[in-house]
Each structure stands twice: as C-alpha cells, then as structure tokens.
Amino acid sequence: DAGVIQSPRHEVTEMGQEVTLRCKPISGHDYLFWYRQTMMRGLELLIYFNNNVPIDDSGMPEDRFSAKMPNASFSTLKIQPSEPRDSAVYFCASSPRLADTQYFGPGTRLTVL
Amino acid sequence: AQSVSQHNHHVILSEAASLELGCNYSYGGTVNLFWYVQYPGQHLQLLLKYFSGDPLVKGIKGFEAEFIKSKFSFNLRKPSVQWSDTAEYFCAVNGPTGRLAFGKGNQVVVIP
C-alpha cells in the first residue's frame, strides 16, 4: 500500500495567492483528517470527513480556509487568500474508524511570503 | 472534550539513558490510546497503541507503554535510548466523540 499521499510536498507562494493542498487517503479508509502543525501551536485538527462528508470543521481558522472531499480517494484543502501566518506544515491522515489508528501523509510545507 | 497532557516538553538525555514520557488524559470512558513519533522533518508514525487487554504494550524500536486506568495515564518508556530516538513524541487518546485528541508533544534530544 502506498500510504497517504500528499501533494505538493513544498509550496512557496506570495500573500494573497490561492493555495490548494491535495490528499489521497489509504484505500478503504472511511475517515480523512486535515491537520496543521506549527512551532507555536503544535498539531491542530482543522477538519475531518467521514465517507466524504465533512463532520467537524470547528478547527478551520477562518473563512479563508475550505476543504472538500469529492470522492473517497481525494481531498483538497484550499486557502484563499493566503497570508504569512498560514505558513505551516499541513498533514493529511486517514483511518478506517474514528477512534482507530490514523495514518499520516508526508505533509505539505507551506511558506507564504 | 478530551484533553491530553504531556509534561516536560523538552527532554535532553545521553545515549543509553532511560526515557519516560508522561501522558495523562481527562476522559473517563473507554479509551483507545496511542503514541506517535515524528522524526525530524518527517510525518507522524505510530509507535504503539492500546485498545484492550494487557495494559503493558510493546511497540517498535524497544518502546513500551503502560496504561494505568486509575491514574488516567499512558506513559511511554524506553530503557536505553539511542541517538536515533531524537524526535518529537505525541500521545493521543480518543474522547467522548470518538475522535482522537493529541497532546502537545515531547521534544526529545539524545546526545551521542
């Protein structure tokens, strides 16, 4: 199994630009999670999906952030417009059940100048 | 909501020393417990987990953890660390909603 796949691995953009992060979960996993990791705030859950449906988006910082899961094998996290304080590593994780092991992708390191 | 506490956020020790990282949680119901490790520049990887059964759990790379229900704790231990154990360690526990909550992590540095 290829594990959770994320792209791009690194993204450098300028303030105000739109950023789209992509995730392919492990096949057969019903749950998909988006996390953000920074030195200051640690690991934060942004949103998670169950069977492609967003269940809890209370961690999404503000309306500039949006996430979609159009099918079981693909999810996107979009930031529009991006700001320097969005600079972080964004991880996607998937799990077969809600309280089960989460498998993390390699992450996308986002730098907003 | 579930809260997970990890103390001693920064730990520095020498090779061959013993390591113990504490993890305490607040939810009193049935819990699933996890320790994840994040090596420098990498993603989180599962170190070990406890769902039920023997409260002493053996994980990869010589790590083990003990679930003590009465103390709401799931402490991680390794008798003799190596330089390659330098990493950040995260405890995670499911809460009343079932969703995992992660602690803030312990940054461990092993000096050769």
**Contact indicator for B19, B104 with CB cutoff of 8 Å:** no
pLDDT score for B30: 85
pLDDT score for B95: 75
- Hey, is the C-beta of B102 within 8 angstroms of any chain A C-beta? yes
Nearest CA to B55 out of B44, B42, B41, B70 is that of: B70
Tell me the CB-side half-sphere exposure of residue B42, using CA atoms within 13 A: 13
Burial of A23 (0-12, 13-18, 19+ CB in 10 A): buried
- Hey, is the C-beta of A102 within 8 angstroms of any chain B C-beta? yes
Tell me the CB-side half-sphere exposure of residue A31, using CA atoms within 13 A: 19
- Hey, is the C-beta of A12 within 8 angstroms of any chain B C-beta? no
Q: Under DSSP, is residue B18 helix (H, G, I), strand (E, B) or coil?
A: coil
Sign of CA dihedral B51, B52, B57, B58: negative
Q: Residue A70 belongs to what H/E stretch?
A: strand A65-71
pLDDT score for B100: 84
- Hey, is the C-beta of A83 within 8 angstroms of any chain B C-beta? no
**Contact indicator for A20, A78 with CB cutoff of 8 Å:** yes
Q: Which of A89, A98, A108, A109 best tests the B interface by mutation, with the highest count of B CBs <10 A?
A: A98
Q: Which residues of A touch B99 (CB under 8 A)?
A: 45, 48, 56, 98-99
Q: Which residues does A25 contact at the CB level (< 8 Å), separation at least 6?
A: A4, A32, A72, A73, A75, A92, A94
Can you tell me the mean pLDDT for B24-52? Answer: 92
* Confidence category of residue B94, pLDDT binned at 50, 70, 90: confident
Q: CA of A49 to nearest chain B CA: how many angstroms apart?
A: 11
Q: Under DSSP, is residue A96 helix (H, G, I), strand (E, B) or coil?
A: coil
**pLDDT tens for chain A, residues 1 to 113:** 689 999 999 999 999 999 999 999 999 999 999 999 998 888 899 999 999 999 999 999 889 999 999 999 999 999 999 999 999 999 999 999 988 899 999 999 999 99
pLDDT score for B15: 97
pLDDT score for A1: 64
Q: What is the pLDDT of residues B39-56, one digit of tens each?
A: 998 999 999 999 999 999
Question: Residue B45 is which amino acid?
Answer: Q
d(CA B87, CA A92): 20
d(CA A46, CA A62): 10
d(CA A91, CA A43): 9
What percentage of chain B has pLDDT greater than the value 70? 99
